[in-house]
C-alpha cells in the first residue's frame, strides 16, 4: 500500500472530485457516512460532544453530528471562535444542523465537556503545520484530561500528517482511536508518535484507484495483499527450493543460530546447514534432524568455515560472539558475494570495524534493532531522525536495512521505506525472536526472492506468526520457538 504525503492526498481528493465526478460536499458526506457506520457499529454512547474546526475536518464532524442526530443520539457540537475563515463545505453543513445543538465559544470560557461519554475531535485535519498554542492549546489540554472516550477524525488535532515535519508537536489530542480516511498518514509510522496515540483504523471513502495507481511515492506499508509467494510444482527438487547457511554461535549462545536455522527450514528452504563451533554441533543435531552441520574450525568461537557448493544465501551473526577470528570470518563471507543477511554480533563487529562496511556486498540485508543501528550509524535524537539516517544509509551503501521495532521499517537501496504496522505484537519482544527473523529472511533469499522482497515479506511472516501465537497463549508466554511453530500457518494464510 502506497503512503502519500499531504499534497498528494489533497490532489487525490481533487482528482476524485473531477473524474468520478462527485461534488466536494458529496465526497464529505460519503466520508462522514462511512465514519458514522464504523462508530455506531462498534460503540454505544449515551452522549457525544463533537468539536469542529473551521475547515473540512470540521465539516466532516458536522455531517457526523447530523447523522447521529438522525438516529436520535444525544449530540452537541462545539465550535471555537478563532477565525472567520470557514470552508465552503463547512458552512453548507453548518446550516443543515439544528441551531440548538451548536455552541460557539472563545478563550474567555471553555465549555464543560465532563458530562459526555464520547468526545470527537474534528478540530484540525492533515493540513496543520504549526503547533497548537494559546486558546487552542488550552482547549486540547482540557480535552485530554477528560474521562470520556476520545475519537479523532482523520488525524488527532495537533499532529502533522507528514513524517518528516519537525519537530513533533508536544501538544496534540490524545485519541483512543483515530479513524483516518483512505490511507494512514505517514507520521503514524513514527514510533515516537505512535507511543502517544491510540488505535488507528482506515476508512475507505472511495477515492480514485486510478490516481493511486499512477502516483509515485517512496513510502509504503507492507500488507498481506502485497506479498506474492513463489509456487512450486510436484517435480521441484530440494536444491531448487534453496540452500541456506546459518553462521553463528559461540560458547553460551548456541541456541541463537539453531533458532535461525529452524526458522529457515519452516519458511521453505529445501536445505539448511549450520556453521557452528565444534562444541555446539551436538546441540544442532539434537534440535532438528533435518539440519546439517558444515565443516568449520573453532572450539568455542568460529575461526573459519568451508562454504559448501550450491549455497544460495547466508545468514550470519546470531550468537557469533566478537572474537578476532570472527572478523576474518566476516571478511571471507563478504568477499564471497553470496546473498547475505547480517544480524546480531555480526552487526556489532561491523560497527567496531569500519573497514568491513566497505566490503559489504551490494544488496546485503542488515537487520539491526535501534541499539545496533546507532552503533552502526551514530546516535539519533528522535525516531524521525533515525528514519532519515536509515533511508540515507541504505542508499549510500546500496544495501537493504531492516530496522526492527514496534513498527519495523525496511529501507531499500533506492531510498524507499516499507513500514510493517499490520501484524506483530508485544509478546514478540522475547529472546531469540530476532534470530527467528534472520532465519526467515535468509530462507526467502535462498529461495530466490529479491533482497527487498525477502526483507519485507520476512518481517510480515514473522509478525503474522507472532500474532498466530496469541490464539493459543497469552502474550507473556510467547517464545521464539513458539513463533517458529506458527510460520507454517502464517505461510498457509498468505498462500490461501
Yes or no: say if 248 and 432 are a contact pair by the CB < 8 Å rule: no
Yes or no: say if 366 and 345 are a contact pair by the CB < 8 Å rule: no
pLDDT at residue 239, rounded to an integer: 82
Yes or no: say if 439 and 269 are a contact pair by the CB < 8 Å rule: no
Q: What is the spatial distance between Cα 298 and Cα 313, in angstroms, rounded to a whole number?
A: 22
Using N-to-C axis directions, what is the helix angle for 345-352 and 370-377, rounded to 10°?
A: 20
Tell me the pLDDT of the chain (496 aa) as tens digits: 999 999 999 999 999 999 999 999 999 999 999 999 999 999 999 999 999 999 999 999 999 999 999 999 999 999 999 999 999 999 999 999 999 999 999 999 999 999 999 999 999 999 998 899 999 999 999 999 999 999 999 999 999 999 887 678 889 999 999 999 999 999 999 998 888 889 999 999 999 999 999 999 999 999 999 999 999 888 888 888 999 999 999 999 999 999 999 999 999 999 999 999 999 999 998 999 999 999 999 999 999 999 988 999 999 999 999 988 899 999 999 999 899 999 999 999 999 998 999 999 999 999 999 999 999 999 999 999 999 999 999 999 999 999 999 999 999 999 999 999 999 999 999 999 999 999 999 999 999 999 999 999 999 999 999 999 999 999 999 999 999 999 999 999 999 9
Place of cell 455552541: 103
* Rg of the chain taking only CA atoms, in angstroms: 26
In the three-class reduction of DSSP (H, G, I as helix; E, B as strand; rest coil), residue 45 is classed as coil
- Sorted by where each begins, the domain ranges of the chain are 23-216, 225-495
Query: Has domain 23-216 been given CATH number 3.40.50.1360?
Result: no
| From the candidate CATH numbers 3.60.20.30, 3.40.50.11890, 3.30.70.360, 3.40.1190.20, the one assigned to the domain spanning 225-495 | 3.40.1190.20
Burial 153-169 (b: 16+ CB within 10 A, else e): bbbbbbbbbbbebeebb
Q: What is the spatial distance between Cα 94 and Cα 25, in angstroms, rounded to a whole number?
A: 12
pLDDT at residue 166, rounded to an integer: 65
User: Strands 408-411 and 417-420: what pairing?
Assistant: antiparallel
Grid cell of 349 as nine digits: 563487529
Asked whether the domain spanning 225-495 has the same topology as the one spanning 23-216, the reply is no
Q: What is the spatial distance between Cα 221 and Cα 1, in angstroms, rounded to a whole number?
A: 5
Amino acid at each position: 500500500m502506497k503512503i502519500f504525503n499531504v499534497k498528494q492526498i489533497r490532489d487525490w481528493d481533487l482528482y476524485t472530485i473531477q473524474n468520478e465526478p462527485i461534488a466536494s460536499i458529496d465526497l464529505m458526506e460519503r466520508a462522514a457516512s462511512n465514519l458514522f457506520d464504523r462508530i455506531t457499529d462498534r460503540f454505544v454512547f449515551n452522549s457525544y460532544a463533537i468539536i469542529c474546526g473551521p475547515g473540512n475536518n470540521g465539516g466532516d464532524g458536522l455531517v457526523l453530528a447530523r447523522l447521529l442526530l438522525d438516529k436520535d443520539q444525544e449530540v452537541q457540537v462545539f465550535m471555537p471562535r478563532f477565525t472567520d475563515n470557514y470552508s465552503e463545505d463547512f458552512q453548507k453543513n453548518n446550516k443543515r444542523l439544528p441551531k440548538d445543538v451548536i455552541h460557539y465559544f472563545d478563550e474567555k470560557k471553555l465549555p464543560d465537556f465532563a458530562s459526555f461519554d464520547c468526545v470527537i475531535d474534528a478540530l484540525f485535519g492533515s493540513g496543520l503545520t504549526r503547533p497548537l498554542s494559546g486558546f487552542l492549546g488550552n482547549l486540547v489540554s482540557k480535552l485530554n484530561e477528560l474521562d470520556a472516550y476520545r475519537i479523532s477524525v482523520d488525524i488527532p488535532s495537533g499532529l502533522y500528517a507528514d513524517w518528516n515535519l519537525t519537530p513533533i508537536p508536544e501538544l496534540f489530542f490524545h485519541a483512543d482511536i483515530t479513524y483516518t480516511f483512505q490511507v494512514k498518514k505517514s507520521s503514524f509510522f513514527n514510533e515516537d508518535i505512535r507511543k502517544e496515540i491510540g488505535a488507528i483504523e482506515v476508512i475507505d471513502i472511495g477515492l480514485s484507484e486510478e490516481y493511486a495507481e499512477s502516483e509515485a511515492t517512496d513510502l509504503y506499508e507492507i500488507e498481506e495483499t502485497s506479498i506474492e509467494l513463489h509456487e512450486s510444482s510436484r517435480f521441484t527438487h530440494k536444491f531448487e527450493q534453496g540452500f541456506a547457511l546459518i553462521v553463528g554461535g559461540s560458547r553460551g549462545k548456541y541456541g541463537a543460530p539453531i533458532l535461525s536455522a529452524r526458522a529457515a527450514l519452516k519458511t521453505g528452504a529445501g536445505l539448511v546447514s549450520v556453521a557452528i563451533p565444534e562444541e555446539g554441533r551436538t546441540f544442532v543435531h539434537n534440535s532438528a534432524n533435518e539440519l546439517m552441520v558444515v565443516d568449520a574450525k573453532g572450539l568455542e568461537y568460529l575461526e573459519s568455515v568451508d562454504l559448501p557448493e550450491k549455497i544460495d544465501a547466508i545468514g550470519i551473526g546470531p550468537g557469533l560472539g566478537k572474537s578476532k577470528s570472527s572478523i576474518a570470518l566476516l571478511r571471507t563471507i563478504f568477499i564471497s558475494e553470496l546473498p547475505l543477511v547480517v544480524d546480531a554480533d555480526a552487526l556489532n563487529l561491523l560497527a567496531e570495524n569500519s573497514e568491513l562496511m566497505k566490503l559489504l556486498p551490494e544488496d546485503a540485508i542488515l537487520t539491526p534493532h535501534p541499539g545496533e543501528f546507532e552503533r552502526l550509524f551514530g546516535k539519533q535524537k528522535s525516531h524521525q531522525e533515525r528514519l532519515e539516517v536509515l533511508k540515507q544509509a541504505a542508499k549510500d551503501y546500496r544495501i537493504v536495512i531492516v530496522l526492527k521495532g514496534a513498527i519495523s521499517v525496511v529501507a531499500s537501496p533506492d531510498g524507499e521505506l516499507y513500514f510493517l504496522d499490520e501484524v506483530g505484537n508485544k509478546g514478540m519482544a522475547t529472546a531469540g525472536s530476532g534470530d527467528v527473523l534472520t532465519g526467515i529472511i535468509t530462507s526467502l533469499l535462498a529461495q530466490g526472492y529479491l533482497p527487498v522482497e525477502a526483507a519485507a515479506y520476512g518481517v510480515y511472516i514473522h509478525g503474522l506468526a507472532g500474532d498466530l501465537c496469541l490464539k493459543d497463549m497469552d502474550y507473556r508466554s510467547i517464545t521464539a520457538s513458539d513463533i517458529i511453530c506458527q510460520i507454517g500457518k502464517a505461510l498457509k494464510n498468505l498462500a490461501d
